[in-house]
């Protein structure tokens, strides 16, 4: 019997900070601006993964406000099938790009970069329109 193939669990964190939301410019493919986030480690809760990824990529400590929505379309990540649980959080501290983030900046709905990675434009449209 073949071993089961399962999607990879991930988290993304919409961090409200400095009058907008934080995005990172990815250092590794797929390139583009993205909501901070990443893979959940074995034995790690979704909430702990969100705090860890936010700190690693942005230098910010976060306070989780709410679990926003889960996104699971098989094509959302061009590398492989992922399921992302997205959180909304507030950021505390000084924003600085780190880990696999080449840049980090604050954007608002009207200033989003053209090149967003993954399905992050759709996620941000849901967030800004208050869909969830």
**What pLDDT is attached to residue 2?**
81
Q: Does residue 24 lie in a domain region?
A: yes
Please report where in the chains the tokens 């901070």 appear, as a residue. Answer: 36
Question: How many domains are contained in the chain?
Answer: 1
pLDDT of residue 131: 79
Residue 69 confidence (pLDDT): 97
Is the residue at 2 inside a domain? no
Strand partners, 15: 89
Catalytic residue (choose from 47, 103, 115, 125): 103
The per-residue pLDDT for 1 is 75
In tens, the pLDDT along 29-58 reads 999 999 999 999 999 999 999 999 999 999
Task: Give the pTM.
Answer: 0.95
101 domain-assigned: yes
Q: Would you say residue 1 lies in a domain?
A: no
**CATH number of the domain residue 71 falls in:** 3.90.79.10
Which residue range(s) make up the domain with 26? 8-129
Residues of the chain with pLDDT under 70: 132
The DSSP line for 71-111 is E--TTSSSSS-EEEEEEEEEEES-----TTEEEEEEE-GGG
Residue 3 belongs to a domain = no
The predicted pLDDT at position 3 comes to: 79
Q: How many Å apart are CA 109 and CA 45, to the nearest integer? A: 30
Is 53 marked active-site?
no
**What percentage of the chain has pLDDT greater than the value 90?**
93
């Amino acid at each position: 019997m073949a071993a089961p193939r399962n999607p990879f669990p991930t988290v993304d964190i919409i961090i409200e900070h400095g009058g907008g939301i934080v995005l990172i410019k990815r250092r590794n493919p797929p390139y583009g601006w993205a909501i901070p986030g990443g893979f959940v480690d074995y034995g790690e809760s979704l909430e702990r993964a969100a705090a860890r990824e936010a700190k690693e990529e942005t230098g910010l400590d976060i306070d989780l406000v709410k679990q926003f929505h889960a996104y699971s379309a098989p094509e959302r990540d061009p590398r492989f099938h992922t399921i992302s649980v997205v959180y909304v959080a507030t950021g505390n501290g000084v924003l600085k790009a780190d880990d696999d983030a080449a840049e980090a900046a604050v954007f608002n709905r009207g200033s989003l970069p053209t090149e967003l990675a993954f399905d992050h434009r759709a996620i941000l449209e849901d967030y800004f329109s208050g869909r969830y």
